[in-house]
Structure 1
Amino acid sequence: MKESRDYLEMSFRSIECFTNDGKLDASELGKILEIAERDGVIDQNEIRVLQNIISKVKPHEIDDEMQVMLQTVSDKINV
């Protein structure tokens, strides 16, 4: 089976999100999560990328919507 390269697309998308206004919002994170889920499995590379992306979110940037999305991602990658 060929290794998924979705994690590369996720990384590229996150770079675009962070560079357009310097931060990531819940909608953008949701779209990145959709990339990870589109083949039905969130693999270890995708988990690593998601964890790296989340680590770059600053506490003052977390609003209610982002908190919900962060919890959603956490629930899906920490099974």
Structure 2
Amino acid sequence: MILLDSNIIIYSLSPRFQQVREFLKGKSVFCSVISKTEVLGYSKLSQNELNGFVKLFDALPIDHCFPSTRTFAPVIKILLKPF
């Protein structure tokens, strides 16, 4: 199975990147709920783009699993430090 990053998802619907669609055709793919949120949360999506992504996500398996907080604890500590 191939985990799709949000950029690959965006490129997959662009007419300029047909090679992305060709590469993914027939492969077992999925994305994370984080990638779905990133793509659908972009404020400058046109209505046509939004409709295309919604259709794609309706057909795409979505992984809703999150790593444990313990995994991210060191990163969270760094991000919360005052500059």
Same fold per TM (> 0.5)?
Answer: no
Instruction: Pick the structure with greater CA Rg.
Output: 2
Q: Structure 1 or 2: larger helix share?
A: 1
More relative contact order, 1 or 2 (CA 8 Å, 6+ apart): 1
Q: Structure 1 or 2: larger strand share?
A: 2
TM-score (norm 2): 0.39
